[in-house]
Structure 1
């Protein structure tokens, strides 16, 4: 290998001041190069992130330097990952029972980040022969009825029986994805089922070892084949609305975003205005009442936060 050879690649891990770059021409993880970032980044107040496309130069000792970060298509603050273009929202249907208000809250944050979302309903530890409880079955039906018509894909999966795993695996190819959702819903079990031999520590194991809920200390990209990566991270773990303005909330509900141009008033809040297309659709039953109810709740939560600060 000649000295000072340059190349392009993606940062797949960041740890203790080092950036681990997977070169574009590398076939597997053995080709990852341990790099330091050039001082110029500090001067610019810019930090390379996991997921960044970068230009690097090899140094004499077999390590490298990150010289340039290519423009990002997206940037998440929590978790700190660049260029994520797909969020897989994992919700358990049985334990804990699916909560539509929390589901909508996650969707608001994903829509606000400008990332495509797909819903993944995990049957947790159910084996093939076990029946879903009535409550869990009703929750699955509700998700299909409410979210598919709006435009969200829904995957029904089980890491035990492998139901839906191949379809989800195929969907992840060619994307940089983040798995998101409550802790303990089986995100790690799902990734272990998608990538055999991965051996991620699951919440059940970490709790038994007394290591707390989040087993992930740093963000790392897991290769899932077909040019796809998944960020192994707790995901959108703290859901508050600090980064979101009240006027942006309606845009984070897909069906309201579509209808807003038909409202009589610009900047319509879709709560009390006359000639509001959203309220008319709600009355006709073409918008789901639970979605509008959660929207109103989030609006109140945001106003309350504004009053307090």
Structure 2
């Protein structure tokens, strides 16, 4: 049986690339019965008599999968956050970072609309960039208008499957259009009433960009830690991982335990206060999460 990779999912159809052709397939009923949905990025076995009447028979084991956006086998997450319109949110960024760290996906932080930032706000954004780079993250400030940062971003895309993810209206589609103008992806301005962007991407699709595959995904504005356990949260903060062996107690949760190296690092300024505050906030959310049965 032929094999391929799902490149796009739309209206119940899955578009599978096999060699140099794309075959339109449906999923077999067995997937619904087993509560498994084929995802963009899946490697699959399919059967087809022609290019419009194929059926997916088997989904190969996944390296990882994301729920929102729905995509599998992602190697890199490009977290796109705007400096303004909507304003940069370290809390929302940290949610995204925790999610991708938990999935073992390499994150790249991309801050857009740098051409629109002025004065004190620019100083604040540059301070955040310095903080996150100090934590070990790669951060690229960009502008789709002035082309700032695009040449720096391009090498990160080569020979890898990446997902562009971020809040609605931050400029994901604009950034992809700047990288590859022939895409002509639809974009929308920020809603002045709601203060956030409209959803411009309606489905997940892998696009050939700079010698790699990029997923342009529907925007979303919130994340819930539905799969993460309390004991795993600290490992999703790389600056915590670096210092956790210095804590007095093994298995320290960095909350009320004495001689906690993480809390000491926050007090000394080695770890930004807002990062620790977000950790505590996320910890409480996970603790208060309704049990799954």
TM-score range, shorter chain: 0.7 to 0.9
Q: In 1, Cα distance between the equivalents of 2:67 and 2:154?
A: 26
Q: For residues 27-83 of structure 1, what are the alpha-carbon distances to aligned partners after superposition, in whole Å with 9 as ceiling and x for unaligned?
A: xxxx21112234443454432111101223331576433232221111111111111
Matched, 1:20 2:8: no
Q: In 2, Cα distance between the equivalents of 1:142 and 1:167?
A: 20
Matched, 1:64 2:54: yes
Matched, 1:240 2:224: yes
Classify 1:40/1:181 alpha carbon distance in 2 versus 1 (closer, same or farther; 3 Å).
closer
TM-score by length of 2: 0.88
**Residue of structure 1 equivalent to 2:245:** 261
Q: For residues 213-242 of structure 1, what are the alpha-carbon distances to aligned partners after superposition, in whole Å with 9 as ceiling and x for unaligned?
A: 11222222222141x222221255431233
> Which structure is larger by alpha-carbon Rg, 1 or 2?
1
Q: In 1, Cα distance between the equivalents of 2:143 and 2:73?
A: 28
Residue correspondence of structure 1 range 111-122 to structure 2 within 5 A = 111-122=101-112
**Residue of structure 1 equivalent to 2:148:** 163
Q: In 2, Cα distance between the equivalents of 1:22 and 1:206?
A: 37
| Pick aligned residue for 2:64 from 64, 74, 79 | 74
TM-score by length of 1: 0.83
**Counterpart secondary structure, 1:32:** strand
Residue correspondence of structure 1 range 173-188 to structure 2 within 5 A = 173-188=158-173
Residue correspondence of structure 1 range 73-222 to structure 2 within 5 A = 73-123=63-113, 126=115, 132-204=117-189, 213-222=198-207
Matched, 1:51 2:35: no
**Is the contact made by 1:183 and 1:203 (CA closer than 8 Å) also made in structure 2?**
no
**Is the contact made by 1:37 and 1:65 (CA closer than 8 Å) also made in structure 2?**
yes
**Is the contact made by 1:219 and 1:233 (CA closer than 8 Å) also made in structure 2?**
yes
Q: In 1, Cα distance between the equivalents of 2:266 and 2:46?
A: 54
> Following TM superposition, where does structure 1 have runs of at least 4 consecutive aligned residues deviating by more than 3 angstroms?
38-45, 60-63, 300-307
Q: Which moved more, 1:234-243 or 1:11-20?
A: 234-243
**Counterpart secondary structure, 2:186:** coil
Q: In 1, Cα distance between the equivalents of 2:71 and 2:219?
A: 10
Measure how far apart 1:133 and its partner are. 1.2
Classify 1:297/1:205 alpha carbon distance in 2 versus 1 (closer, same or farther; 3 Å).
closer
Q: In 1, Cα distance between the equivalents of 2:28 and 2:167?
A: 37
Q: Which runs of 5+ in 2 are unaligned?
A: none
Q: In 2, Cα distance between the equivalents of 1:305 and 1:65?
A: 38
Q: Which moved more, 1:112-121 or 1:42-51?
A: 42-51
**Matched positions, count:** 288
**Residue of structure 1 equivalent to 2:267:** 283
Measure how far apart 1:22 and its partner are. 1.2
Measure how far apart 1:250 and its partner are. 1.3
**Counterpart secondary structure, 1:250:** helix
Classify 1:149/1:198 alpha carbon distance in 2 versus 1 (closer, same or farther; 3 Å).
same
